[in-house]
Amino acid sequence: MASTSTTKLTEPATVDPNVDVTPETRGRPEVSGREVVFEVSDLSVYYGSFRAVRDVNIEINRHEITAFIGPSGCGKTTVLRCLNRMNDLIEIARVEGRVGYHGVDLYDREVNPVEVRRRIGMVFQKPNPFPKSIYDNVAYGPKIAGTKGNMDDVVEKALRGAGLWDEVKSRLKASGMSLSGGQQQRLCIARAIATDPEVLLMDEPCSALDPIATARIEDLMQEIKDEYTIVIVTHNMQQAARVSDRTAFFTTEVNPESDTRTGLLVEADSTDKMFSNPSDERTENYVTGRFG
């Protein structure tokens, strides 16, 4: 079955007739006995000649919430955006190393980034709904993916999944922009899960929201983590401690010759251990508030 995922990633929008690809299994390759979704090894990211992050090695497990924490500029977001090839949009960005996804290197030449993003959805720092109706926001992904079946059901399922259905069911034709910030962010989550991805990448999804909307999103993450693998970047250590199963701590080091800063991954472990008894002194200093 692992080979199925390989071919599907490299063949855009075509379906192997020998494999039963129902909407339920689409985007969710069955990988029996294997819990690891991502294996990132020796990942470095450059912007032009500037090395933004170096030597990141981390594994991300299935149906867990992994939090990336660390001070500003430490490369959390940069690494996150490597997990669905979003860095491709930045022309000067260059990636070295390997981002393994179920054994496939996402940066392999044959891999189609469009197909990657269909399986690995993303929620951004600022809510960014399309300037369209609530319905069209959610339906956009399935529509371009050529999803068959009743679109109304797809939209309802995604909005229910994002905990927004009851608030918007009577006004699906209203603009997505007319919602409050917290609702907009849940709309973006609905939009991301509408294509039925396996992974959700969340880049500081609550940084533009008030505490109540934040709590609502955090609850939602707990509700959906049985279905999705979630990676969240957060500035907020309490948030990481509250929601995540595993935590990865990034920091920066100064390059003495150029006075620039390069990010690096210090350690990644279970969240309990990271916040109570981390192996690295730098992690301890950060989580206890002595630095950062």
Residues near other proteins (CB under 8 A) are 84, 86, 89, 91, 114-115, 117-118, 121-122, 124, 126, 128-131, 140-141, 144-145, 175, 177, 188, 191-192, 194-195
Residue 144 C-beta: closest distance to other proteins, Å: 5
CA distance 5 to 102: 8
State which residue, 2 or 114, has the beta carbon closest to other proteins. Answer: 114
State which residue, 40 or 139, has the beta carbon closest to other proteins. Answer: 139
- Number of neighbouring beta carbons within 10 Å of residue 272: 12
State which residue, 126 or 273, has the beta carbon closest to other proteins. Answer: 126
Residue 98 C-beta: closest distance to other proteins, Å: 22
Question: How far lies 135's CA from each of 159, 191, 192, 200, in Å?
Answer: 9, 9, 13, 20
State which residue, 91 or 281, has the beta carbon closest to other proteins. Answer: 91
Q: Say if CB 44 and CB 97 are below 8 A apart.
A: yes
Bridge-partner residues for 148, per DSSP? none
Residue 291 C-beta: closest distance to other proteins, Å: 31
Residue 56 C-beta: closest distance to other proteins, Å: 21
Residue 16 C-beta: closest distance to other proteins, Å: 18
State which residue, 69 or 203, has the beta carbon closest to other proteins. Answer: 203
Please state whether beta strands 260-270 and 246-255 pair in parallel, antiparallel, or not at all (unpaired).
antiparallel
Residue 268 C-beta: closest distance to other proteins, Å: 24
State which residue, 47 or 124, has the beta carbon closest to other proteins. Answer: 124
CA dihedral 40, 94, 73, 185 (to 10 degrees): -80
State which residue, 143 or 235, has the beta carbon closest to other proteins. Answer: 143
Residue 128 C-beta: closest distance to other proteins, Å: 4
In the chain, the N- to C-terminal Cα span, in Å, equals 44
